Each structure stands twice: as C-alpha cells, then as structure tokens.
Amino acid sequence: MKKYKHYVFALLGVSLLLAGCGNQTGKSSSNGALSSSAAEKVYVAPGEQDEYYAFLSGGYSGNLTVYGLPSGRMFKEIPVFSQFPTSGYGYSEETKPMLNTSFGFVPWDDAHHPDISQTNGELDGRWIFINGNNTPRIARISLSTFETEEIIEVPNSAGNHSSSFITENTEYVVAGTRFSVPVPQRDMPINEYKGNFKGALSFISVAPENGRLNLEFQVLMPGFNYDLSHPGRGKSHGWFFFTTYNTEEANSLMEVNSSQNDKDFIAAINWKKIEEYVKNGGGTKMPANYAHNVYDEHTHTGTSTMKKEVLTVDPTEVPGAVFFLPTPKSPHGCDVDPTGQYIIGNGKLSADLTVHSFDKMIAAIEGEKFDGEAYGIPILKFEDVLAGTVKSGGLGPLHTEFDANGNAYTTFFISSEVVKWKLGTWEVIDRKPTFYSVGHLMIPGGNSRKPFGKYVVAMNKITKDRYLPTGPEMEHSAQIYDISGEKMELIYDFPTHGEPHYAAGCPAELLAPKSKKIYRLSENKHEFATISPNDARVERNGKEVHIYMSTIRSHFTPDNIEGIKVGDKVYFHITNHEQDFDVPHGFSIIGQNTSELLVMPGQTKTSIWEPKKVGVWPFYCTDFCSALHQEMQGYVRVSPANSNIELSWSLGE
Amino acid sequence: MKKASILMIVGPLFLLGLYAFPLWNIMLGAPQYPEPLGMNIHIDGIRDVNEFDLQNIDGLNHYIGMRKLPKPEEMWEFSTFPIIIGGMVFLGVLIGLLGYFKKVSYIWFMGWFVVMSILGVLGMYDFNAWMIDYGTNLDPNAIMKLSNPDGTPMSYKPPLFGHAKMLNFDVTSLPSTGAWMMFTGMMLILAAFFMGRKTSKKTKTL
C-alpha cells in the first residue's frame, strides 16, 4: 500500500510538472491552438522560400520529384527513367538514347532510392543518384540543371534494389541485386536455383570532375536477395553493408519459403580491400552487354554506348573482404548511424531492431571468431557483433534515419508509426502514428555524417489517405513531423507523386544559388543548332528533310515552309534564342506521332514528323511565352509524293 | 594656396572613375521581373547590369516599336566622351600644378569648374535628347500601339532622374558611382577655389 502511495504522488508530480510546462510556453492543449502552431511551422508565406529541398523518388512513375520542406509544395518532376511528354524527354531525338538498354528502348522503370553526392561524408549538392529497379540502371542527375545527365545499365543484376547508395566521398555509387539470377544468364531449370544463382553487387565509380559513371567491378555473391544497403562512414568508411533475405535460396512461394530461417545476414563488404585487389590485377573479365547513356549539357544531346565487358570478383578469393553478420527476421532496411559505429538491421518480420557494432565486428574478424561459413564466406557470431536490440513494441520495422543528437527514427510498416529511440541506450523516446503504413522516412542529411535534424518526412506505402477521395487509384501520402524537440510533432500531410521509395533532402542554400536559369546560346554545340536566325533553313537529303528553326518571342524562323512531301521524314531542329530566365518555347505539329518539345532558352531539341496527308498543316508554340503567344504559329505545305514543288521557307514575306 | 592647389590636382583625378564605373543606371522592374532588368550607362557605351539584360530589354521593347539600344559604335558620344573627360582631367591637373607653383591664380580653378559644369549640362541635355528620341521615335508597324487617355500616342521615354511607371514597368533612373565620383571631384575643385580665394585675400591684407 505504501508503494502505491509513492506512485500516486509521483504521478501527481509529473502531471503538475507537465501542466506547469504547458502554462509556461503559453500553449493550451486544445486542438485549435495545436493545429495553429503546426500551421505556423509549415507555412511558407507567398514570396518566401522553403528551408530544405526534398527529392522524393517517384517509384513506378520512374521519375524524381522535387519538394520544399516544410511546406510540402512540389516544385518539379525530373524525368529520369520514364518518357515525359511535358518536356519531350524520351521523345525528342536528343533524349531517346537516354532510355536505351541492352533490351532496346525501355521507356519506364521503377525508381527507388535517391542519394545526394557527398564529400567527407557531408552532402555537397553536386549530383543526385537514383536506381531503376526493374531493368537495372543507375541515373545521375545534375543539381544545377535538375536534369538527368547519365544512365548506366547494370549487367548481371535483376531487381536493382539495394541501390543507389554512395560512399562518403562519392567514390562509388553502389548497386546490389535483389533477385539473384544465373550469371551469366543461361537456359536452366528454375528449381536448380540453389547454389547456382548469383547475386551481383556492383561498384560504379563517379569521376569527381564531371560525375561520369564507370562500372569498376561486380562482387558475385551467393544467390540470396540483397535487399538494401548503406555505406560505412567515418570509422567504417571503406565498408558497405547489405541486408539479405531468402538465404534459404527458395525459388517459389517466396513469402513462405524465404521466411523460414530465423536469421538472415547483413553482408559486410570491405570495398577498399576489393578495390585494391582489382587494382593489382585481380578479378575475372566477363563478356557482358550493357548501355551507358550520357547527356551532354553543351550539345544538348544524349549518346548511348554499349559496353561489352565487366570485371567480376569472386569474394572468396579476396580474404578478409566479405563477412556475414547474422540478423534476425528477413531484415529490410540497412542503415548506418552518422558516426559509422552502428549498423541497424530492420527485421521486417519482427518487433525488434538489431543493431550491430562496427568495433565489435572488427574485433570478431581480428579474433577470427567465426560461426561457420556460407559458400566460403565467414559468418560472424551474432552475439559477438551485436551492440544492442531496440525493443520497440512496434511491428514490422523497415527503415531508420538519424538526427545530429544521437537519436534514430525508425518506420514501422505494420503498426504504422515512426518510433524515435536513442543510440547506445536503445530506449524508445517517442512514437507517433503515420497515415497509413509508412515505408521510408527521410531527414535531410539523415544518411550522412551531418544530419539536419529539424524535420522527418514519412512516406506511406498504401494509398489510403485522409484527403478527398479520387476513385480506386490515388497518390501516396506523406507526413512531415517536427523533430526539433524531445517529442515528435505531426505538422503536415501532403500527397506525393508515384510511390516514393526513400528520399534525399538538403538545405536550400546548398542548391538554390547554383540552380541554372538559362543555357547560353553561345555555348550551344548541338549538331543541328541554328545559332543565328540568318542560318535558319530547310535541307533535303533524299526523303529526309532537316528544318533548322529558331524561336524568339513570338515567332518561329522560318514560319512558312513548302516543298515537303508525303512520305518524307521531317526533322524539326528547334533552337530557342531567348536568353531570359523562364522563357521556354514549345513546338508541336498536327499529327506528330510523338510528344511536343519544350525548349529552354539557349537549347536545341529535335522532333520527327512524318506527314501522311497532303495539305497545309499548322504548327505552334505550346508554352505561353508572351502576350503574342497565340500568334506564334506557322504552316507546312505538304504536297503529294510525286510533286515537283521546290523546298522554300520564309518569315514575314 | 598650396593646399588649394593640391585639392585642384586631386579633384580632377576623381573623374577617372568614369572610365571604370557607370555614369548612370536605369533599372526596369515588373511583376514578371522580380529581379529587375537594368542598364548601366558608361561614358563609352551601355552595358548589362546582369548578363543578357540589354538583349532582354530590346526583346521587350520591340513589342512597342522601340529601336534596339545603341552599340558603342552607333553613337558618336561614346567615342567622344572619354576624350573630353581625359582632356578635362589633364587640364585640371595642369591648372592645379601651375597653381601649386604659383603660375596661375585660383580664378583658373573656377574657370575649370565652369567649363566642366557647362560640359556636364550639355551632356545631360544630349542624354535627355537621345532618350526622348529613343522613347518616342517608334516603329510605325509596332506590334502594340498604345495611346494616352487624350488620344496622343504613348511614348516611352525613361525618366532622366528618379522613378516613373511605364506600362507595367517601374523604371528608376539614377546617377551611379561614376557620376558620384565626378560630383565629389567637382566639389573638391569648388572647395579649392574658395580656399584659394581665402588665402589670396589674406595675402592681400597682409
């Protein structure tokens, strides 16, 4: 009875304390006051700018979307793996090569995990990378033009999911395969998977001066599913960590058959060791066929090159380079804290998080305390590497991000919540529901040595949301929480585009000042550019007709063209002569079997038109460019295939 | 007289700022130009405030039939002004030196000041005349021909000094660094004159 009394007093004390706090900060507990304070936190007044950029992957839209935090306003959709009629990306002759693969033209992908380039483990804002999951590819996007500059296909991979994460000086962008496959691909029975399939982990170097990607080597791992990965940082720089599932190597009814082992692995890869091995001539060159597509900002043109060889590394031939860390319950997210000390395995079929210690891992490796091996790769003892377990009380942990104060934030898909916990003590500090069924979360810089722990964005996996209904198909929803205090506070709900798998964010001042406004016409090196309106012309080469056309407010030069015939293949090469911010011109012509073009100032883009009918056909500018935009139009006269009408073109005659 | 002469030597040197800094600045802001377009008028030509500003001003002006902004070789002023300024600096320094060695009296200082002021007023008059021509001598085939409420054709002469609203644009026209340096130099010379007069009076009474 005495004990109870103490408890009662303690509780009373706490509640008094809380009430006191409430009064001191002048906050009442009524909903109205709370929501108005949330409104103040997310309100970015007209004319003001957001504090952070957020880049959300578009999932099955294949693209990347740019948002502001804390407003949740969407600024732009950057086309990456998908055709985008808004700008003509993937439709224009210049950008079609960007979507070339060893399977031919693939106009779509499933874009997953964006990651911003880093220097010394801190965001540097040069580029952002994102992976295409379905037809394995990695893209590099410029953060001064906000356009896709490069896409490299990843051979021997399938389900490019544990990608595209970068090392702390952007030495490599890493791409792991979720689905193991025969390497090289061959005709074989599916049920001979076990022991025969391989999981390729690809290390793609990034040239510091221009970002050019090159597939340096692939580590051919046992045929597990390599689900997610993150780089070591600080003390663990030089290592890369991959979660695995299906260490059972099942090939059918995976939801049951690959969930049998109590523990799967986190694969720890010492890439510096493998890099050295490769530099000393190690590895095996294997014939391959994969596309490398590069867009040049000055020629405004993409080129696709097929690469024919890849260097593969058998991990058992590089002693001390690869180890397995047993991790319970089919871990999904694999996250490394800002100090590089803790490696978190989010056991998606459990309630708990497993945290491994980098120091303990090194000690166990040095002490050679192995618990057997898998395909020649040493397995460390679970107890020897375990730093701690977070007993959260939630269900289905997926992903963890970090703030700068030693706290971690983990999403729980099944129990639909974000849980804040303390690194080192593993105690749960706070939990807040999400709406609904959260997948990834993002803190700007939360995947670097220097997080900016002011907001966390939780991105939901199911499309049921709290907005006005729009039929069976909806966009996914996201929540913004203020994490500047001890407790998280939900401050905003906003819809996203596609299905965001992960995001990357950074302070606005890192990118805003260097965002390009125009392309310089004087630097336009496009093969078919029209640099002066005096050079505007039409040239015939057999059935091919090239129209060199320039635009300026508000006319095309030339705007009357005759001598085109049915059956011709007409190339419209449009050069925008504007050098003023935000004056693009569009181009479209009746019956075009492709999209319009949206041509930025100083840029050249090309669209093909194959006229099928005799007549006089109009073309026009699709972007409202000036008060005389409606007048920005022209005509093409199309004559019968056998006509003798000479080519002619004019403006203002 | 020595101090006054030193001022007379230093004063004209301030005019050299006109070779480095603009004489005048005109800025054009509008809702669709939150970062205004601008031109800096130097003694040897008109230049962008931000890259491509002149090109973009010309692009906008063509709607209302204004001619393109002149290139340096298209106006005699831009080749003549640098010579006149150079000549005046030379003369001023020379007068100062002669004053220092007591070869000329302080009256010459005022002489230089008056000549320079006349030249300045003439320059302003010429500049204003050009702006009137630029703003009113419009292409008869202009895309937009606007009229004032009284039916007279609208003209687009930028203000010589201060602010004016032209269509949707706020136009501000003010002297710039070069002009302020010239002004400072001329004030020094004026001071030199008064100092010279004071000391010469003293010498006389002695």
B206 interfacial to chain A (CB closer than 8 Å): no
Give pLDDT, residue A3: 47
Name the 3-class secondary structure at A358. Answer: helix
CA–CA dist A204, A214 (Å, integer):
5
Q: Residue A537: beta bridge partners?
A: A548
pLDDT tens, A227-245?
Answer: 999 999 999 999 999 999 9
Nearest C-alpha of chain A: how many angstroms from B25? Answer: 20
Which residue is associated with the tokens 């080749």? B79
Give pLDDT, residue B205: 56
Contact A580 B52 (CB under 8 A): yes
A627 interfacial to chain B (CB closer than 8 Å): yes
Q: What is the predicted ipTM?
A: 0.83
If one counts every other C-beta atom within 10 angstroms of the C-beta of residue A279, the result is 11
Averaged pLDDT, A441-463: 96
Using 50, 70 and 90 to split pLDDT, how confident is the model at A91?
Answer: very high
Contact B55 A579 (CB under 8 A): yes
Asked if A320 and A272 touch (Cβ cutoff 8 Å), the reply is no
Give pLDDT, residue B167: 87
Which residue is associated with the tokens 């040595």? A449
Give pLDDT, residue A25: 41
How does DSSP classify residue A645? P
Is it the case that residue A8 has pLDDT exceeding 60? no
The residues in B 142-181 lying below 8 A from A, measured between CB atoms, are: 143-144
CA–CA dist B200, A357 (Å, integer):
91
DSSP of chain B, one letter per residue?
-HHHHHHHHHHHHGGGGGGTS-SEEEEEEETTEEEEEEEEEETTEEEESSTTHHHHHHHHHGGGTPPPPPPGGG-THHHHHHHHHHHHHHHHHHHHHHHHTTSS-THHHHHHHHHHHHHHHHHHHHHHHHHHHHHHS--TT-S---B-TTSSBP--PPPSSEEEEETTEEEEEEE-HHHHHHHHHHHHHHHHHHHHHHHHHHHHH-
How does DSSP classify residue A96? G
Q: Residue A570: beta bridge partners?
A: A545, A609
The residues in B 6-35 lying below 8 A from A, measured between CB atoms, are: 35
CA-nearest residue to A521 within chain B is B52
- Helix H segments across A378-486? 382-385
pLDDT tens, B166-175?
Answer: 888 999 999 9
pLDDT tens, A150-183?
Answer: 999 999 999 999 999 999 999 999 999 999 999 9
Give pLDDT, residue A576: 98
Query: How many residues are present in chain B?
Result: 206
Give pLDDT, residue B146: 87
CA–CA dist A145, A148 (Å, integer):
9
Pairing of strands A137-142, A122-132: antiparallel
Is it the case that residue A383 has pLDDT exceeding 60? yes
Measured CA to CA in angstroms, residue A442 lies from A52, A115, A508, B122 at distances of 12, 11, 16, 66
Q: Residue A456: beta bridge partners?
A: A481
A125 sits in which H/E element: strand A122-132
Per-residue H/E/C for A194-213: CCCCEEEEEEEEECCCCCCE
Contact B144 A579 (CB under 8 A): no
CA–CA dist A558, A634 (Å, integer):
8
pLDDT tens, A199-230?
Answer: 999 999 999 999 999 999 999 999 999 999 99
How does DSSP classify residue A77? E
Asked if A155 and A290 touch (Cβ cutoff 8 Å), the reply is yes
B68 interfacial to chain A (CB closer than 8 Å): no
pLDDT tens, A638-652?
Answer: 999 999 999 999 999
Contact B63 A628 (CB under 8 A): yes
CA-nearest residue to A520 within chain B is B52
CA-nearest residue to A580 within chain B is B56
Nearest 10 degrees: Cα torsion A584, A590, A594, A597:
-10
- B51 to chain A: which residues are within 8 Å by CB? 579
- B59 to chain A: which residues are within 8 Å by CB? 552-553, 578, 580
Pairing of strands A597-599, A100-101: unpaired
Give pLDDT, residue B170: 94
Size of interface A-B (CB pairs under 8 A): 18
Phi and psi torsions of A605, nearest 5°: -135, 155
The set of residues, in sequence order, having a beta carbon less than 8 Å from that of A290 and lying 6+ positions away, is A101, A102, A152, A153, A154, A155, A215, A306, A307, A310
Is it the case that residue A382 has pLDDT exceeding 70? yes
The rounded percent of chain A whose pLDDT value lies above 90 is 90
- A628 to chain B: which residues are within 8 Å by CB? 63, 143
